[in-house]
Amino acid sequence: MQKSIRQDLSIKISCVIFCISIIVGIVYYLFSIHYYDKELKSAIEHQTNHIANTFTAQLWLFDLNTTKELCKLLLESPEISGLRLLDHKKKVVFEQAPSHKKTIVHVNRSLRHKSGKLVGYVDIFYTDAFWEQERTSIIIIGILMMIGTMLGAFLSINILLKRYLSRPLEDLQKDMVSLAKGDFQQSGLVGQKTEIQNIIDTFNKLAISLREKDQEVISKTEALRESEDKYRSMMEAMIEPIYICSSDFRVEYMNPAMIRRTGRDAVGERCFKALYDLNEKCPWRLLYKTQQGEIFELNTVNPKDDRSYHISCMPIINADGSVSTMAIFRDTTDFIKLQTQLQHAEKMEAIGILAGGVAHDLNNILGGLVSYPELLLLELPDDSPLREFILTIQRSGQKAAAVVQDMLTLARRGVVAAEVVNLNEAIDEYLKSPELQNLQSYPPPRSHRDPSCNRRSQYLRIYPSIFPRPS
């Protein structure tokens, strides 16, 4: 059980006062003994001189009866335990041996008259009865003084400690309890002693500082709550799936878009299992770079839904020093399809531009091939043998012009008008065409025909030039 500071100080100070009182009592006792011993010797000397003068006068007058009566009276005194009186011839006039009382002083004195003549001798034995009384009185007084001093000091110390230490500390303790409960008010204690007042002033400074810190914490907490609400609202309002993963591959947070994509709130689960339906860590290892504080992006195909995603990863440093990873998913499947279509369209546009340029150049070349046969036919008679060849040239030029027109239509992104073609007429025209005649000019095929022969490819190459192709 803990002691109060007042009790502890009272006990310790009382012990100190007790020791000091004992020391003072011993010093007082020794001083008193010395003082009373000196006074006793002085009193014995004075009394001895008085008795000697009395006996000297009686022996000078030789009044023995009176002298004996005086001796008996002296023996009745408690200070004298024995007496012996001798005349000048050392003849015993009166003698009383010392009693059982302790003799502390034996005085032997010769008796001489004023004239200088020796009249006798006297031996006086003083007892310690009076000294014993004085010593007992000294001890009792010393004990009473020590007890009174201790009681007075103890009461005074208790009163002073309660007034100047215990009561201010109790009031300060109440203020501290209020401070601990969140009431950051200054203490109303004033006018105390320097040390206690310094403690009170320090407490008031602490209360002011804590009140300011509390207000600062409240404002920062409110700002942090507002910031958290704002960023949480932003995260929840984003249409891109977002999740935060710890360093041990545990999902810490998923926004609603990610929950909808996953089908459940997978907080606490392994990220590679919840997001990618894998039984082991992702092969692209998103966390290793962010653990080093790097920000990176990658494109991947999620094996769970077989869709393409662009993933942005960034590190989040926690208060305990650990690093989490925030990943933002952007579904790029439709974008990639559109990009592929755009690339195809750009490729077709490039081909159309090239075809347009070639068509314009061919059109300039074919201008004479189409127009001059017609002029020649106007000049030739109907039965001219050259007429058939010129008609063949004219038809070939027209076919080439139709192909050029198809190329221009492709370059201008126009729509080709499809028409019905009679295959018999097309075959008859082909049989009369110079291409077939040129083909027939080749030697006949051998039994072991070379695999690299490309006649079929010639047919295939001629056939598209005969029939118009839809765009």
How far, in Å, CA of 408 to CA of 410, rounded? 5
| pLDDT for the residue 460 | 37
Token pair recorded at residue 25 = 């009592």
Q: Find residue 111's DSSP bridge partners.
A: 120
Give the pLDDT confidence score for residue 367 in this predicted structure: 76
Structure tokens at 33: 């003994």
Residue 123 confidence (pLDDT): 85
pTM over 0.85: no
| The residue to which tokens 């004023």 are assigned | 114
Buried b (16+ CB within 10 A) or exposed e, 363-376: beebeebbeebeeb
Q: What is the DSSP string of 242-307?
A: EEEE-TTSBEEEE-HHHHHHHSS--TTSBHHHHHH--SS--TT-HHHHHHTT--EEEEEEETTTTE
What are the domain boundaries of the chain? 5-153, 184-235, 238-331, 342-466
Compute the distance between CA of residue 260 and CA of residue 355 in angstroms, rounded to an integer: 50
Overall fold of domain 238-331: Beta-Lactamase (3.30.450)
Alpha helices in 80-166 (DSSP H): 129-161
Those residues with Cβ within 8 angstroms of residue 392's Cβ, 6 or more apart along the chain or in another chain? 432, 433, 434
Q: Cα dihedral sign for 387, 392, 396, 402? A: positive
Q: Which two tokens stand for residue 18?
A: 């007790």
Query: What is the pLDDT tens value at each position of the chain, 471 positions in all?
Result: 555 666 677 777 778 877 887 888 788 778 877 777 787 788 888 888 888 888 888 777 777 788 888 888 877 777 777 888 888 788 888 888 776 555 567 888 888 888 888 888 888 887 766 666 777 777 788 788 778 877 887 788 778 777 777 777 777 777 778 777 777 676 666 655 666 777 777 878 888 888 888 888 888 888 888 888 888 888 888 888 888 888 888 888 888 888 888 888 888 888 888 887 787 777 666 566 777 777 878 888 887 778 888 888 888 888 888 888 888 888 888 888 888 888 888 888 788 788 777 777 777 777 777 778 888 888 888 888 888 888 888 888 888 888 887 777 766 655 555 667 777 877 877 777 776 777 777 776 555 445 544 444 443 333 333 334 433
Q: What CATH code is assigned to 5-153? A: 3.30.450
